[in-house]
Amino acid sequence: MTSTEFGPVRPLDAQGLAATPAGERFVQRLLNRESGASDCSVTLIRTPAGGGSPEGLHRHDFEQVFHLIEGTMKIEVEGEVSEVHAGSIVVFPKGVAHRNWNAGSEPTLHLAIAAPAPPVGETGTYPVRPA
């Protein structure tokens, strides 16, 4: 599908989300350069209990914003750990080491927004080794 085939509404894959077992991570790329965006990307992510950033501690070439829709998430930004509750916005500045994880017993659901969007075929994500 080309970028011109995508309209302004990007529906949630509710069937895919419902079919994915609660113990597995669900990722749906709602908007990115491949689907017509030029300046940002938006991804819906459900993280199971005990799960978190697949990369562990990492940084990005872009600013990243999370909107936590459901659950409670732990985040670490520059060594400082915080607990985030549903309805909160989290800002990870460009180039700053961070990670997130679900320390609770229920899955979390969040939107991850990146600006600017990484180039096609690149993640803009780089693992950080602890000092």
Mean pLDDT, all residues of the chain: 91
Residues 6+ apart with CB under 8 A from 128: 57, 58, 59, 97
pLDDT value at position 129? Answer: 84
CA 59 to CA 119: how far, in whole Å? 16
In the CATH scheme, what is the homologous superfamily, with its name and number, of domain 19-118?
Jelly Rolls (2.60.120.10)
Name the percent of the chain in helix, strand, coil, to the closest 5: 10, 45, 50
Question: For 98-110, what is each residue's pLDDT tens digit?
Answer: 999 999 999 999 9
CA dist list (Å): 35 to 14, 40, 59: 19, 11, 24
pTM of the model: 0.89
Mean pLDDT within 39-51 = 95
Under the banding of pLDDT at 50, 70 and 90, the label for residue 119 is confident
Domain ranges, ordered by start, for the chain: 19-118
